[in-house]
A and B are shown apart, each in its own frame.
Chain A
Amino acid sequence: MMLAIAAREFKTLFLSPMAWTILAILQFILAFLFLSQVETFTMLQPKLAAIEGAPGLTDVVVTPLFGNAAIILLLVTPLLTMRLICEERRNKTLSLLLSAPVSNSDIIIGKYLGTLGLLLLMILLTALMPLSLLAGGELDFGKLFANMLALLLLVSAFVATGLFVSCLAGHPTVAALGTFGLLMVLWILDWTTGIEDQRSELFEYLSLLTHFQNIQTGLISSVDIIYFLLFISTFILLSIRRLDNDRLQK
């Protein structure tokens, strides 16, 4: 049941030009950034060769590429998640799901997985670019994997947030703006940590960016993984609660 909803959601994304457009634009921008990063590397290569323990190809190309992908996906995810529950409610199609023998958690998780499917596709497409470097060089696969994992966890968190805001909002545009705002705040929350005497450990912990960058360096620690899992499950639970609340509306 849950998978049927996920499959439907995933296919529906491809019925409109939305998914195709986003995939195309994302691929174009990232390819451009990838090429400029490779260019930088070829310029730096002679200097790097002289330094002991200098950053390698993976550090110079892959890490910035995934970092940029994260920022672009921060902009893109709200557009993908805005319709999820909001539009069902507006088109009155939600009652089809509510009167079918599926639970609210099936609906929410199904929709979540369906959207995540598209983002997973984007991450795989992004990963293809550094893999093409294998033709003429060597990659640190551990680090590439860490980057993919970091991006996957990050977009999973994005989608969970977007899904929740879509449950709340009355209009898709509002949902998109709300998601974007919320994610942006969580993204920049640790900017205050730059100033030495105003350090806030709480803000540093809450910030998505810190945890994302930690995993990106190749240091996969349980603290960061748990942070993302907690983040995702919190927003999914809130979404289910919110959908339950629809039935109890005053």
Chain B
Amino acid sequence: MTTLIEAEHLHRYYGKHCAVHDVSFTLSKGEVLGFLGPNGAGKTTTMQMLCGNLAPSAGQIKINGYDLLDQPKSAKLSLGYLPDTPPLYRELSVQEFLQYCAQLHGIPRNSIASAINKAKERCGLHDVADRLITNLSKGFQQRVGIAQAILHNPEVIILDEPTVGLDPIQIREIRALIRELGQDHGIILSTHILNEVQESCSHVQIIHQGQLILNETIAGLKQQMNTGIVRVTTRHIPNAAVLLTLPGVASIDKVSEHQIKIHHSMTDNTVERIAEAIIASGWGLQELTPIKQSMEDIFITLTQEPKQVDL
């Protein structure tokens, strides 16, 4: 397997604020890497560094074997980037814009037309090719942004929140496109929609406060997903502090006076212990429902300080 991106010990400071702290990872051909994190976690900063828009304060980035600092032109040749705001010249038509992008990326003159046609087809832009970008809806603008990123058939495609502003059908199409592209490219996409990662990625990385806290394959992640949520309704007001002392309870969210959500570990019969504790305290247990396990649980257990009450 060919390694397309090697990022080593990336740091990025804005003044004294450290936005990215010691992030290292690799991306190989055929992988779709999902970058997950809350707002301000450092996702966009990391992506901007990978694309050469921002210089890392420390660390090294190699794209397709070329160092981004020493040989920026060769490295950027194998790079397609869609930033969080699609970089579109609004006064141009879709066709003109893609033509310009093709020239910028050094596509040979005789294959520009076929490259543009392929990108338009993949992103469903044939009907709007002659319209001005400024007159397109946000969803179509987003698609033009994606078309721009895949136009020159780069080895590495980096998409910053690619499905923002799209309708559900378009989201499905774009996810299918990402999976298709993922077969013979390396893709990084960032998102804070959790099931997007589950649906279209092969690997996942969770970044929080500038640090990489998880780097797993989706399969490995599912094994590691050992937390669950139960919804508990009681007649009397429950004492969260007591429940938090139980081993295996990660955190508690208060839904209403009588209802709480408990994040717990899936091992050692924690739910049984929770039920016993509630009954023993005489709070009058009325409901104890497991909530469908999702990546949200992982996210919460990894990004929240342990044993914290959200009241």
Q: Which residues of A contact B (CB under 8 A)?
A: 1, 4-5, 8, 12, 15-16, 91-103, 247-250
Contact = CB atoms under 8 A, between A and B. Distances in A.
Interface residues of B, number: 31
Contact of B89 (A93, A100, A102, A248): A93
A91 B85 CA distance: 9
Interface string B54-79: 11000000000000000011101101
Given A95-B81, A100-B76, A247 B53 contact: yes
A123 to B, nearest CB: 26
Contact of A15 (B14, B72, B81, B91): B91
Nearest to B50: A99
A197 to B, nearest CB: 51
Contacts of A99: 51-53, 76, 79, 81
Nearest to A92: B85
Contact of A100 (B15, B83, B104): B104
Contacts of A4: 100, 103-104
B73 A103 contact: yes
Nearest to B54: A247
Contact of B87 (A1, A15, A16, A95): A95
Contacts of B89: 12, 91, 93
Interface in B1-38: 13-15
B295 interface: no
B105 interface: yes
Nearest to B106: A101
26 contacts: A1-B103, A1-B104, A1-B106, A4-B104, A12-B92, A16-B91, A91-B90, A92-B85, A93-B88, A93-B89, A95-B51, A96-B87, A97-B104, A98-B52, A99-B51, A99-B52, A100-B76, A100-B104, A100-B105, A101-B77, A101-B106, A247-B52, A247-B53, A247-B54, A249-B14, A249-B54
B148 interface: yes
A5 B91 contact: no
Contacts of A248: 55
Contact of B55 (A5, A100, A247): A247
Closest CB pairs A-B (n = 10): A96-B87, A4-B103, A101-B76, A99-B81, A100-B104, A99-B51, A93-B87, A92-B85, A247-B55, A101-B77
A103 B55 CA distance: 14
B81 to A, nearest CB: 4
Contacts of B85: 92
Contacts of B14: 249-250
Given A15-B91, A101-B73, A250-B14, A95 B53 contact: yes
Contacts of A95: 48, 51, 53, 81, 83, 87
A106 to B, nearest CB: 9
B34 to A, nearest CB: 20
B148 A96 contact: yes
Interface string B82-103: 0101011111100000001101
Contacts of B106: 1, 101
